[in-house]
Amino acid sequence: MTEVETKTELRGAAARLFTGGTVLCDGAMGSMLYGRGIFINRCYDELNLSQPDLVRAVHTEYLQAGATVIETNTFGGNRIRLERHGLEEKVREINRAGVRLARECVQQMAEKHASEAFVAGAMGPLGIRIGDGNKVTEEEAYAAFAVQVKALVEGGPGVGADLLILETLMAMNEARLAIQAAKAEGQGLPVIAMVTVDVNGNCLDGTSAEEAARLMTEWGADAVGCNCSDGPATVLAVIERMRTATKLPLAAMPNAGNPRVIDGRHIYLTSPEYMASFARKFIKAGATFVGGCCGTTPQHTRAMRGALRAIGAQETGVEVVENGGAAEAGAARAQSKVMPPDLKDRSRVGAKIATGEFVTLVEIVPPKGIDSSKELEGAEELHKLGVDAINVPDSPRASARMSAMSLCVQIQQRVGIETVLHYTCRDRNLLSIQSDLLGASSIGLRNILCLTGDPPKMGTYPDATAVFDVDAIGLTKIVRDMNYGLDIGGHSIGQSCGFTIAVAANPGVVDIDNEVRRFAAKVEAGGEYGITQPVFDLRLLEQFLKRIEQFRIPMIAGIWPLTSVKNAEFMRDQLKVRMPEEILARMGAMPSPEHAKAEGIAIAQEMLEESRAMVQGVQVSAPFGKYKAAAQVLGVL
């Protein structure tokens, strides 16, 4: 199917939400009000007039949970729906009140937390079939939508809505009329149009997801998508199908599964964690606007916020911090009186990188117990050989080990060689990340490798919970800001932490385009040098380095001396390292374990010699604590 797009020129502050980055929208209003004791036979839109504090409370909770866009309590605020409650004469009053309440909450949040959010005028379906002999003609339906749009945007920028969200559209003729009314009467504000679908992913009038996206694009919507429906999985499938039919931004706002009646109440059982897992999938499928519908709560929004952090999602150029606040981090750095020391003055590793000298690192994995004597002996031996620093992984493969920071301190204090601390955000929230980094700087740890970390399910305790408030990109930003003397919220910590900032790269991944994009984001976030995963195919390393030429930083190549053909197969199958067939053949041809280890060292030496001209250093691993093997590899230097 041919993709289509429009060239609509958008107006208003919310227009930039449509130009890139991910936008987190709020969740349900109706089910939140229902949960506060409002009977289902009430007109929820009328609560804007009779119980405004209740509506304000819901808006505020979503803003505190991290929503960037909140929808007005006007889903049923059109004349035809209000007529059922005898309120058809109060369309303007109810919709204006809905916008005013949302605007007040956004302004209060901006004053208290320096955060930016936007008010979306919410418009739902008319709840009745249109045209073809039905009770409502197309002209009457258009007029109902138009009157509501005028009320929502009345007052212009900063007073009326910032954008319009047409949601839960069930039929294409209704979608067309709603979009046309929004574009004609909406003062040029952006319009998001979302359909609801059945379990097969088709609109309730039988229109396919692809055709719905194509038509709504043709009619002038500025973003299209799917909301409510049968839960996150169904909406994900619809978004994936819509992506093939339009180039417009996509919106995904599912309900929290199907409700169940428990003790006479409709309860949605989909957990915040489950919704958060789908938030990641929505983004990977191409969604720009992510939020929730029926049954979702501020807890779901907060979990989704964490998921968006974990994949490095950005909201309109604003870096998000906990509790929905936001710091204009770039401006804060520009205004900070603290500047980080020159790279050459932060550490010995930093000095060698800054001056272009070749850097040698060896990886030592922390012990599984409290006895680190073997690791310290290995570090001592490597120090004597002239290795520049010891890399210490942070519970690799989510295994339970001594903390990397503890081993780094012991190595630096007892051996006198510098360390590079691998630091992951797998099991730390934003507060503990900040505490750890402040502590690391205070005890002289100056080299940080920022990593996302392996998920707990692949480790020794698969039932352990993950945090992932940020991923490696977000972590890199935090470390960079602390170098400017700023905490996570942009507040002064008094002085620079003085870290050198390393970031990781994997030239051998299948989706190399995504790896290049993420590496570019890491460099933009503050990465000062890169360390690759173990490299066994130098063609891949060379190709990756060419791909990153325009934003390349000094690169250190990972080198791994294989110990056996099983070790090679494990790296290929479990660690997803690209392993050439010729290397597998060489390792498999060895007649004994001793010969295999010697061949692994020989292969690693070849990798080092051949990659030396491409990179500014090497990180040699010491598999299974074989530090002499790492030393032998470095012997070719």
H or E segment at 423?
strand 418-424
* End-of-domain residue from the set 306, 327, 348: 327
Q: Do residue 322 and residue 346 come from a single domain?
A: no
Residue 489 lies in a domain: yes
Judge whether 228 is annotated as a binding position. Answer: yes
Task: Give the tokens for residue 131.
Answer: 């045209």
Residue 353 lies in a domain: yes
Q: Do residue 180 and residue 84 come from a single domain?
A: yes
Whether the CB-CB separation of 298 and 61 falls below 8 Å is answered with: yes
Question: 202: phi > 0 → left, psi -120 to 50 → alpha, else beta; which?
Answer: beta
Dist. CA 304–CA 300, nearest whole Å: 6
Total structural domains within the chain: 2
Supply the pLDDT for residue 459: 66
Whether the CB-CB separation of 603 and 611 falls below 8 Å is answered with: no
Q: Do residue 360 and residue 251 come from a single domain?
A: no
Q: Do residue 308 and residue 339 come from a single domain?
A: no
CATH number at residue 159: 3.20.20.330
Q: Do residue 314 and residue 187 come from a single domain?
A: yes
Supply the pLDDT for residue 326: 35
Using DSSP bridges, classify how beta strands 617-621 and 555-559 pair: parallel, antiparallel or unpaired: parallel
Dist. CA 390–CA 410, nearest whole Å: 12
Q: What is the dihedral of CA 610, 611, 614, 615, to 10 degrees?
A: -150
Dist. CA 237–CA 309, nearest whole Å: 23
**Which of 606, 528, 503, 521 is closest to 560 using CA atoms?**
606
Judge whether 293 is annotated as a binding position. Answer: yes
Q: What is the DSSP string of 277-290?
A: HHHHHHHHTTEEEE
* End-of-domain residue from the set 301, 327, 353: 327
Whether the CB-CB separation of 472 and 456 falls below 8 Å is answered with: no
Q: What is the DSSP letter of 186?
A: S
CATH number at residue 351: 3.20.20.220
Residue 605 lies in a domain: no
Residue 574 lies in a domain: no
Q: Do residue 374 and residue 277 come from a single domain?
A: no
Whose tokens are 């609801």? That residue is 196
Judge whether 294 is annotated as a binding position. Answer: yes
Dist. CA 49–CA 350, nearest whole Å: 62
The dihedral sign for the CA sequence 153, 157, 158, 159? negative
Task: Give the tokens for residue 267.
Answer: 């309860």
Q: Do residue 303 and residue 411 come from a single domain?
A: no
Whether the CB-CB separation of 506 and 533 falls below 8 Å is answered with: yes
Residue 610 lies in a domain: no
pTM, full prediction? 0.56
Supply the pLDDT for residue 9: 62
Residue 494 lies in a domain: yes
Task: Give the tokens for residue 390.
Answer: 């010891």
Dist. CA 480–CA 517, nearest whole Å: 19
Q: Do residue 381 and residue 302 come from a single domain?
A: no
| Helix, strand, coil percentages in the chain from 3-state DSSP, rounded to 5 | 45, 15, 40
Supply the pLDDT for residue 274: 78
Cα 202 to the chain's mean position, in Å?
29
257 to 71, 282, 292, 458, 464: CA distances (angstroms): 20, 16, 11, 28, 25
**Which of 123, 14, 151 is closest to 69 using CA atoms?**
14
Whether the CB-CB separation of 270 and 257 falls below 8 Å is answered with: yes
Sorted by sequence, the CB contacts under 8 Å of residue 246 that are 6+ apart come out as 3, 4, 5, 213, 214, 216, 217, 224
Residue 598 lies in a domain: no
Q: Do residue 309 and residue 455 come from a single domain?
A: no
Q: Do residue 171 and residue 285 come from a single domain?
A: yes
* End-of-domain residue from the set 280, 306, 327: 327
Q: Do residue 382 and residue 289 come from a single domain?
A: no
Dist. CA 425–CA 85, nearest whole Å: 52
**Which of 255, 317, 242 is closest to 285 using CA atoms?**
242
Domain that holds residue 444: 335-562+617-631
Q: Do residue 161 and residue 101 come from a single domain?
A: yes
Q: What is the DSSP string of 56-117?
A: HHHHHHHHHHT-SEEE-S-TT-SHHHHHTTT-GGGHHHHHHHHHHHHHHHHHHHHHHH----
Whether the CB-CB separation of 249 and 290 falls below 8 Å is answered with: no
Q: Per-block average pLDDT, block size 10, for the chain (637 residues)?
A: 49 83 92 87 94 96 94 97 95 98 94 85 94 84 98 93 96 96 96 94 93 97 94 92 95 77 46 82 92 91 80 40 39 71 95 94 94 95 95 85 95 97 89 94 97 76 75 90 89 94 92 88 92 93 93 94 93 84 95 94 94 94 86 89
Residue 3 lies in a domain: no
